[in-house]
Amino acid sequence: MKAFSVILVLATMFLSSCSVQNPKELFNNPKSRDAVFAAILDDHELMMEFLQQARGNDHATMMISHFMGNESSTDHANCPMMKETQADAAKSPYIGEESRAVKSLSSDDIRKYRDGEGMGQAKVAELNHYPGPKHVLQVASGIGLSKEQQTKAQSLYDAMHEKAVRLGNLILEREEQLDHSFADGTIDRSKLAGALQGLGQLQGELRLAHVEAHLGMKNLLTKEQIQKYDEMRGYQNSGGSHQH
């Protein structure tokens, strides 16, 4: 009887998601209702389709749990639908990453560290009207950058990029060492604390290198150039002031 009740719940929810203008009308006639449920119970594929519909519906899952609440834990665990749901829930979002050279970093992360890319480190400056030298140089003609400004902007970028590449490679070395310590089982709390503190310091230095370049760049630009830069970068609706 309980299994039949579960099927009724699923049938109702499935039909309510169909394109019928008012699916509930199908159940107003007892004969039609009996025919629908008979078809469900007699057709394995149709029953499985209802179960698949329910798997992605929180309401259906809750109702099934309610109906099955008095079942023994063994019966509940042996339900095919519940087994599949539990298996899906157990799957990690990290599948495939166990084969990475450095488990905590993607190949793109590694490339960006090696190339000294910003990786969003200076977003707090960039989105508050403190342009970065790299992008200022990219829009130099659009904001009317003078030859002197271009030279100074290039110097700012070169100094920042040199620091970022050096620090990025140091971070990669520390991440590799940490990964190896876990892989070979030699990690302990003391080693972990030292590794994470060292990584934290390097990450802070890397962010400083990126953000301070934005500070220096703003001091080289006029208010009008910064406003034009923001417009060209698509920040014209970002709000805030353009103090200089």
pTM over 0.85: no
Per residue, the 3-state secondary structure of 17-35, as one string, reads CCCCCCHHHHHCCHHHHHH
Whole-number average pLDDT of the chain: 83
Going from the C-alpha of 157 to that of each of 1, 21, 227, the distances in angstroms are: 74, 62, 21
Domain ranges of the chain: 2-90, 97-233
Pair of tokens at residue 86 = 């539990």
Please give the biggest Cα pair distance in the chain.
87
Q: Which of 14, 5, 22 is nearest to 57 (CA)?
A: 14
Q: From CA 48, how far away is CA 65, in angstroms rounded?
A: 17
In this predicted model, what pLDDT tens digit does every residue of 109-159 receive, in sequence order?
999 999 999 999 999 999 999 999 999 999 999 999 999 999 999 999 999
Q: From CA 134, how far away is CA 89, in angstroms rounded?
A: 44
Q: From CA 226, how far away is CA 224, in angstroms rounded?
A: 5
Q: What is the pLDDT of residue 244?
A: 46
User: pLDDT-derived band of residue 2, with 50, 70 and 90 as boundaries?
Assistant: very low
In this predicted model, what pLDDT tens digit does every residue of 50-105 receive, in sequence order?
777 766 676 666 666 665 555 555 555 566 655 666 666 778 889 999 999 999 99
Q: Which of 174, 33, 54 is nearest to 102 (CA)?
A: 174
Other CB atoms within 10 Å distance of the CB of residue 5 = 14
Q: Which of 244, 237, 243, 242 is nearest to 227 (CA)?
A: 242
| Phi, psi (degrees; rounded to nearest 5) at 224 | -65, -40
Going from the C-alpha of 18 to that of each of 15, 22, 26, 38, 197, the distances in angstroms are: 5, 9, 12, 19, 56
Q: Which of 124, 143, 130, 129 is nearest to 240 (CA)?
A: 129
In this predicted model, what pLDDT tens digit does every residue of 19-56 receive, in sequence order?
445 666 666 777 777 777 777 777 777 777 777 776 66
**Can you tell me whether residue 87 is helix, strand or coil?**
helix
Pair of tokens at residue 206 = 């890397």
